[in-house]
Amino acid sequence: MSTALVSAATDDTFAAAVLDNPRPVLVEFWAEWCPPCRQLAPILDALAADLAGQVDVVKVNIDENPQTVQRYGIMLAPTMNLYRGGEVVRQLVGARSKSALLRDFGLAQ
């Protein structure tokens, strides 16, 4: 489903993987039953490879991690949050192209 460059976080590991991370972290809140999430998977893999060492990419399964989903008010899948210094700085809902994600999150190189 995803490469080693895209990691998974759970309710138990979210703080360490995302909030305490010194790099910006792009988090996708996704679900197995979500077709747009499946479309987004290879795009996130490519982003993770392109931005390795600059931005970490993490996925959170919304069905398996209700505490994190509730904490951030996630209502739809896929929802992507960009975290910097433990804070959400940008949120996007729905699948997008790689170029749109880079642009909309301000990650274009």
Per-residue pLDDT of the chain (109 residues; tens, 9 = 90+): 444 699 999 999 999 999 999 999 999 999 999 999 999 999 999 999 999 999 999 999 999 999 999 999 999 999 999 999 999 999 999 999 999 999 999 987 6
Buried-exposed string 90-107: b where 16+ CB fall within 10 A, e elsewhere: eebeebbeeeebbeebeb
Of 5, 8, 31, 34, the catalytic one is: 34
Of 37, 44, 80, 82, the catalytic one is: 37
- pLDDT for position 1: 42
Within 10 Å of residue 54's Cβ, how many Cβ atoms? 10
- The full set of domains in the chain, from first to last, is 6-102 (3.40.30.10)
37 carries an active-site annotation:
yes
- pLDDT for position 108: 73
- pLDDT for position 100: 95
- pLDDT for position 86: 97
DSSP string computed for 67-79: HHHHHTT--SSSE
